[in-house]
Structure 1
């Protein structure tokens, strides 16, 4: 017997799930929202309206099936709380300690167990490997091409006869792109099978080992093909790690602070970039081995990840997916403040996953990949994650992260000046990532993107135009650096943390691994394209044309985000099923006919009385919970 579906009408998606119509349900619930075509944009609690006796019977059936009979009273209390979250004060079965813990979820949302913070921070440290490697190769690019006899830039005294600088620039680009090529085509796609067999922690351990050993190997390379191979191996670990760590964090965190904690991935990436620039400066005078130290030092943040990952609790949602409900409950008890909150989340997650199964059955790896584009609810998540990940490369941040030293040398800086200016970029990138810890869950993912992309466009355009200033002028290098730093300041709290946080949230549990693999592969594939092409683009377009080109891509990305990226803040991972059930056409029409006119009236014409009708309507207890959140934020 299915303890949840016994009171729920089944949905027949048939051959064309887009034609689904809402149908009545038993009990007091009037309608079920289609998770493929949510034309009314309603968000529904799957437990709302179920009579108390029926709910208790469903919980007992679930507990027996899950071999958790000893937890039935606790699970029943948890189900009552999950059924109507704002009304927990009226649940007679709760004691004062449990009520106080539930109050603190709203009043003190950052008051969480040590195990939760340890898990998120430790795993996100792995992102520092990626950031450190980017900047290590950034500084190393000034030396290793000469050591391996593939110089890509003519010396100041003029080109050396017989040296093909155009050909060498392609080699430098391909070597720098090695980790992103391997990530996009191998590492990311290993995430799904690795997760299936070894769990989130096992996949992270596998990835960390690759990240640890491969960067050490890069420091001992004797030819550019050897360096290329070590960087390909790094990409295998980097892709698997980037595909699973944000998922791991998102699945473990409460909805109210999920964005702020999951974005620690980007925080540590930015910190890794900053540490990489520090390392570049620290070994500046190390002579012929400087570039080897710059590349090899990126192994450092992988060490705590390898040692500590199995001290973290496994994802409870992965346990639920495997039918290991006792393990899921034990994990939730470590990640939540009280057993009641663990029981509530366990049963609520289980109930919503049963709703998902109405539209998504069991499928193999290949089928799940195909379903990213064929199941409407999943397809919308695929489009949104593709958009934010592609935008991260379109915005041009990695032309600075990969090649800032080269850019500053082109601006007339000496080698030390270029490294110092790059250090400044890394510092700005890290410092301005901090505000997103609070703003990402307050203003939302979409709002941060829509605000920061126009700012990135004009600052990148200004940086490019500053190359027109005569190089002998004092203002030349200073203004270029200023606008690049300003660009980084706008990037860091917006497009920096959002893509990985967002992509880890938007897919249903059944497709979360392969969906995140798709998203990260998209990001890193285009990072590889950028890395390969920018040295040649810089030679062909010169810095003015290259920077202006990426400024134009920022505008294109802004339009894509405006139409295709729904908001996800402060919704549980399961409630997002309803958000992504809203047809893309409905979302686009709302943005064009409601949101854009409102914005023009409110912020261009300064009409304070302008009001925006919300797109999403929250049903029952979910609506009340939303009101509580809004009041708290106010």
Structure 2
């Protein structure tokens, strides 16, 4: 073992079946739930940079934003807690809603939970589009947040449970592709409506209803997952769906494994208590830290406030909105790169490469801003330096979009056993939303206080999280989610927490195969890379 990397022998199973159109269509429709989240991420920054919107709801911010660069500290001209509350209130609501979504997933299934989330989001979009005061704006954003909490808690789990193990990463990343597509669409909408003399912001906010309609009507026709049917005691329906999505009648082995996992889950009466048990320590710690680090990359500095940030560094209204469109396009393309490579190169390689790329870009952007504004905040970007800053911001977005963006949703959704899966995904979403809220609420204040040093602040966290991935996050590609305990048992650090009789280790007892990874017996020459830095 070197640097936390190692390769072990494993008895991971290969189930019969193949990728079917049924799975692909179901996963694509479900993943469109990410459009709602992405649209909201992208729309708020453009709206808060529109003059008519600021005049109506935040006149004091408008007056500061229109002051000349020699009279106003450029770092501070958008600093307003009420303005940032408009953006960040959605994520606080999503945090709370994720716990309700966890209970709904268990009681009613994935399909119903997605449907309810889409309807609530739709109501919030209409309220925002017709808002007359700040209170209506905040109420609308809270309803949008509830819808996002339901969708983000449910969709990644749905995708992981429907997908065959060998392409689970790619299908799960469809969710992130939808998120980035939503961001790009929002940026394009903002750029288009900015040319309207009146009510352009209403169109921006109200068009959030479109992805909500896609999600809502799509959920009506989606099948629920076999895991969800088993969890609710509908075994015949579960097997029928499993045969349909695997394209074969011979699903007995996989179905039996799901039943065994379900039996373990049924014995767990209190998943929120059980998730704190020692045997789930690896999953819990990783699911707490990955969404925490995902937000501390500083990505939402760009995604929420791209037009505001670009105006802060001296661009005009149209130029700042167009720069946001460019970063949105880079975001989508890079996420598709992740979709095409995650099941080939693995999760760890993308995490580590993306972290290094983001670190370099953040340092360069900080130095470029410092060269133009210093610590006083007075000045303007020259065109060459401004273009260089946009280029490195785009490289930064690319690094995030093929690593921490999609993998921050994929990895937590695939590592939990069934008995605590809904609770685990709820934790993932709630931690993500909590720190999304915190970053959204304090960013403009931090920019005012730290100046260009804010980018160094986020770069420091990128170093910490890349080291964490290197040593503590094993490779999970191609491993069936009900067999994931083998991954932890093979890891140099986490193996101390996994009992030898854990589900996923004891399936081979009939053949007298030892259930722990210290056995000398090998599995027909099949190797699985766990934590190796090689690809």
| TM-score category (smaller protein) | 0.7 to 0.9
2:207 matched to 1:207? no
Q: Secondary structure at the match of 1:469?
A: helix
Is the Cα contact below 8 Å between 2:358 and 2:396 reproduced in 1?
Answer: yes
Q: 1:449·1:494 contact (CA, 8 Å) conserved in 2?
A: yes
Q: 1: distance between equivalents of 2:87 and 2:29? A: 27
CA drift of 1:352 comes to: 4.7
Q: 1:372: how far off?
A: 2.1
CA-atom RMSD in angstroms? 2.9
**CA–CA distance in structure 2, aligned partners of residues 44 and 577 of structure 1:** 11
Q: CA deviation at 1:159?
A: 11
**CA offsets 1:431-467 (integer angstroms, 9 cap, x no match):** 1111112321112112211121011011011112111
Matched, 1:568 2:468: no
Given that 1:174 and 1:532 are in contact with CA atoms closer than 8 Å, whether structure 2 keeps it comes out as yes
Q: Does the CA contact (< 8 Å) of 1:42 and 1:619 recur in 2?
A: no
Distance 1:42 1:520 in 2: 33
Structure 1 equivalent of residue 273 of structure 2: 370
1:20 aligned residue:
none
1:595-606 matches, cutoff 5 A: none
Q: Which moved more, 1:495-504 or 1:460-469?
A: 460-469
Q: 1:119 and 2:22 equivalent? A: no
**Alpha carbons 2:488, 2:495 under 8 Å: kept:** no
Q: CA deviation at 1:287?
A: 2.3
- Find the aligned partners of 1:621 and 1:585 in 2 and give their Cα distance: 22
SS in 2 for 1:413: coil
Aligned to 2:505: none
Supply the distance in 2 between the matched residues of 1:578 and 1:240 (Cα, whole angstroms).
30
In the alignment, does 2:292 pair up with 1:390? Answer: yes
Residues 349 and 42 (structure 1), Cα distance of their counterparts in 2 relative to 1, 3 Å cut: farther
| Deviation at residue 205 of structure 1 after TM alignment | 0.2
The two structures have a TM-score, normalised by structure 1, of: 0.73
**TM score, norm. by length of structure 2:** 0.86
C-alpha distance in 1 between matches for 2:69 and 2:340: 52
Which residue of structure 1 aligns with residue 259 of structure 2?
350
Q: Give the 5 Å matches for 1:426-437.
A: 426-437=328-339
Out of 356, 363, 384, the residue aligned to residue 475 of structure 1 is 384
Q: How many Å apart are 1:44 and its aligned residue? A: 4.8
Q: Which residue of 1 aligns with 2:180?
A: 270
Deviation of the 1:266 alpha carbon: 0.4
Aligned to 1:26: none
**Inter-partner Cα distance in structure 2 for 1:190 and 1:302:** 19
Counting only pairs closer than 5 Å after superposition, residues 231-630 of structure 1 correspond to structure 2 as 231-340=141-250, 342-354=251-263, 356=264, 361-364=267-270, 368-373=271-276, 375-470=277-372, 471-542=380-451, 544-581=452-489, 585=493, 624-626=525-527
Q: Shift of residue 492 of structure 1?
A: 1.0
5+ residue gaps, structure 1: 1-39, 46-81, 87-101, 106-110, 589-614
CA contact (8 A) 1:178 1:528 kept: yes
Matched, 1:173 2:84: yes
Q: d(CA) in 2 for partners of 1:293 and 1:459?
A: 34
Shift in alpha-carbon separation, 1:325–1:622, aligned structure 2, 3 A: farther
Instruction: Describe the SS at the equivalent of 1:339.
Output: coil
Deviations 1:127-148 (A, max 9, x none): 0111111111110011323211
User: Is the CA contact (8 Å cut-off) linking 1:445 and 1:567 kept in structure 2?
Assistant: yes
For the residues of structure 2 that align with 1:554 and 1:287, how far apart are their CA atoms? 42
CA distance, structure 1, for counterparts of residue 354 and residue 42 of structure 2: 23
For residue 281 of structure 1, report the CA deviation from its aligned partner.
1.2
Q: 1: CA distance between counterparts of 2:519 and 2:134?
A: 57
Spell out, residue by residue over 1:565-607, the C-alpha distance to the aligned partner (whole angstroms, 9 max, x if none). Answer: 222111001110232346773579xxxxxxxxxxxxxxxxxxx
The match for 1:225 is: 135
Q: CA deviation at 1:285?
A: 1.2
**Gap change, CA 1:616 and 1:297, over 3 Å in 2:** farther
For residues 502 and 616 of structure 1, the distance between their equivalents in structure 2, rounded to whole angstroms, comes to 22
Alignment partner of 1:580: what SS? helix
C-alpha distance in structure 1 between counterparts of 2:275 and 2:259, whole Å: 22
Q: Does 1:216 align with 2:126?
A: yes
Contact between 2:268 and 2:274, CA under 8 Å: does it hold in 1? no
Higher mean C-alpha displacement, 533-542 vs 616-625:
616-625
Residue in 2 that maps onto 1:71? none
Q: Tell me by how many angstroms 1:310 deviates.
A: 2.9
Query: Is contact 1:218-1:227 (8 Å) kept?
Result: yes
Higher relative contact order (CA 8 A, sep 6+): 2
- Unaligned runs of 5+ residues in structure 2 are 1-6, 373-379, 497-515
Change (3 A) 1:413 1:198: same
Q: CA deviation at 1:370?
A: 2.7
Q: Which has the larger radius of gyration?
A: 1
Contact 2:162 2:225 in 1 (8 A): yes
Over 3 Å counting, the alpha-carbon distance change for 1:159 and 1:287 in structure 2 is farther
- The Cα offsets for residues 221-273 of structure 1, whole Å up to 9 and x where unpaired, read as 11112211110111111011101101011001110000110111101101111
Offset of residue 112 of structure 1: 2.0
**Cα distance in 2 between the residues matched to 1:461 and 1:147:** 37
CA contact (8 A) 2:48 2:54 kept: yes
Match of 1:37 in 2: none
